[in-house]
Chains A and B, each alone.
Chain A
């Protein structure tokens, strides 16, 4: 890629502009399935980010060695290696978390977010850029999963990360633990992100139109001033000519 983008932009695009869940709608299966609590969401996002970062790095290092015809298979083998690492580490260090996430850790292998980044970015860019890109995507994924898991945890158990945030008189909504709650919450999040994006777009459109109009009105004003000045000069010249002709009417008569 010859087109150079600032590194900070490369990172931020994963957080907002091309957010994997809200904008690209990738990796929805773990997003919907595991976010019954904020902790589960964070754990899932960190595991995914780990796999994403390291597989991006490796793949972009050997991107010129992978034959084009077998690239998907090669990507999957590399991704699966890191997923196995994550799975075994979580089983050894956080057995409870591993149990509550269930089959969704091994399923990171087929998370379309990870494969999508390899195909779209790492296999075409330098290792450093791939690292920044995958970190940004991981951060975006983490934010969405934390917010989704947080909302569902607050509404279904009155707690956030295990601390009680709503009073006891609040009756927990069972629906938020169920898949229906995940779909409703994610739907609202997508809706609000689209609403915000639309609002922003309208604002920038309005700004562009405003700047265009103000510059045009300036140009028109200068043009008008010029035209007026020209006309004034022309009129003055005419008046002078008339004065001259008025000065010597007798001469004309004599000549005739």
Chain B
């Protein structure tokens, strides 16, 4: 009798296949990405000073506050605990210039969450990378402040400096590749140190949180397209290695383009996505009026993702072509 009762009272879970369980949940993935970003945060503090921590705090705080407020107004379930708002705030802070105004940082964080994410329906529905939407807004709203680059703390003789890409484009000065790799150059908080980004990025790829195809296709793309331009005239155009370690390329490749929501889901689509981003970056950097184009390239390719997904659908096994 008791056995029967137990069987009846056992909750039967009905779900469609696949029945495989994984420990990797959204919360865990977000935590791992945040962990992988710590080297970048560290490099930002080392190179640009302790003040940058305030930018991180404001950006993360306003992001989470905006998310909470909007969910409250729209009477939806609170999604603060999945850590996506925290991550968006952190990513936004990492792509802002050093010593950036805290008020503008807060505005950018608000735009990231409100216009970049919640207007589309919240986590999982955003077409564009929220942090990049916030940065694009700030870039359009405050172009002067967004391109004021503080020198790293190891260069005490000047207050501001050009970024390696800007210096090459406007003044024809080639920066030292070694310091570009370590991060001892002008640039946004988290994107100057290629070393820190590689540590975090390879950690994420090893865990399987970031699909290797997007970063790899972007790196191959920038080396191929950069070399093609470089071979036309090595004097006038940048060495492809500058393209690789300069500006926000590596940060964009590992942390921005590979965002789960706004990147393609098929393997073939990821290659198209990555190569497309690299092609646009090279075009903007070489022929455009601005020195850097990673943000615009990723946002532009984000818009193509639904179409890429549609045209790279794998054929069902056994179906005729």
User: In the complex, how many angstroms separate the beta carbon of A219 from the nearest chain B beta carbon?
Assistant: 35
A191 contacts which chain B residues (CB < 8 A)?
A: 119
Contact A174 B115 (CB under 8 A): no
Q: Tell yes or no: A171 within 8 A of B by CB.
A: yes
Contact B104 A178 (CB under 8 A): no
Q: Tell yes or no: A184 within 8 A of B by CB.
A: yes
Contact B140 A171 (CB under 8 A): no
Interface residues of A in 152-177 (CB under 8 A from B): 171, 173-176
Q: Give bound CA distance, A58 to B103, whole Å.
A: 55
Q: Tell yes or no: A180 within 8 A of B by CB.
A: yes
Contact A175 B104 (CB under 8 A): no
Which residue, A171, A176, A178, A180, has most C-beta atoms of chain B within 10 A?
A171
Contact B115 A173 (CB under 8 A): no
User: In the complex, how many angstroms separate the beta carbon of B40 from the nearest chain A beta carbon?
Assistant: 27
Q: Give bound CA distance, A191 to B145, whole Å.
A: 31
User: In the complex, how many angstroms separate the beta carbon of B299 from the nearest chain A beta carbon?
Assistant: 12
Interface residues of A in 162-204 (CB under 8 A from B): 171, 173-176, 178, 180-181, 184, 191
A180 contacts which chain B residues (CB < 8 A)?
A: 137, 140
B142 contacts which chain A residues (CB < 8 A)?
A: 171, 173-174
User: In the complex, how many angstroms separate the beta carbon of A180 from the nearest chain B beta carbon?
Assistant: 6
Contact A174 B140 (CB under 8 A): yes
Q: How big is the B interface, by class?
A: 10 to 19
Q: Tell yes or no: B143 within 8 A of A by CB.
A: yes
Closest to B139 in A: A175
B103 contacts which chain A residues (CB < 8 A)?
A: 171
Closest to A170 in B: B103
A174 contacts which chain B residues (CB < 8 A)?
A: 140-143
Closest to B145 in A: A171
A173 contacts which chain B residues (CB < 8 A)?
A: 141-142
User: In the complex, how many angstroms separate the beta carbon of B295 from the nearest chain A beta carbon?
Assistant: 14
Tell me which of B101, B119, B137 contacts A175 (CB under 8 A): B137
User: In the complex, how many angstroms separate the beta carbon of A151 from the nearest chain B beta carbon?
Assistant: 14
Q: Give bound CA distance, A184 to B103, whole Å.
A: 20
Contact A184 B115 (CB under 8 A): yes
Q: Give bound CA distance, A176 to B142, whole Å.
A: 11
Residue-wise interface mask of B (137-164) relative to A, using a CB-CB cutoff of 8 A (1 in contact, 0 not): 1001111010000000000000000000
B101 contacts which chain A residues (CB < 8 A)?
A: 171
Which residue, B101, B103, B115, B141, has most C-beta atoms of chain A within 10 A?
B141
Q: Give bound CA distance, A173 to B140, whole Å.
A: 8
Contact B115 A175 (CB under 8 A): no
User: In the complex, how many angstroms separate the beta carbon of B217 from the nearest chain A beta carbon?
Assistant: 29
Residue-wise interface mask of B (110-148) relative to A, using a CB-CB cutoff of 8 A (1 in contact, 0 not): 000001000100000000000000000100111101000
Q: Give bound CA distance, A181 to B140, whole Å.
A: 9
User: In the complex, how many angstroms separate the beta carbon of A168 from the nearest chain B beta carbon?
Assistant: 14
Interface residues of A in 189-244 (CB under 8 A from B): 191
User: In the complex, how many angstroms separate the beta carbon of B161 from the nearest chain A beta carbon?
Assistant: 23
* Cβ contacts A to B, 21 pairs, < 8 Å: A171-B101, A171-B103, A171-B104, A171-B142, A171-B145, A173-B141, A173-B142, A174-B140, A174-B141, A174-B142, A174-B143, A175-B137, A175-B140, A175-B141, A176-B141, A178-B140, A180-B137, A180-B140, A181-B140, A184-B115, A191-B119
B-side residues, CB < 8 A to A, are 101, 103-104, 115, 119, 137, 140-143, 145
Q: List 5 A-B pairs, minimum CB-CB distance, nearest first.
A: A175-B140, A175-B141, A173-B141, A174-B141, A180-B140
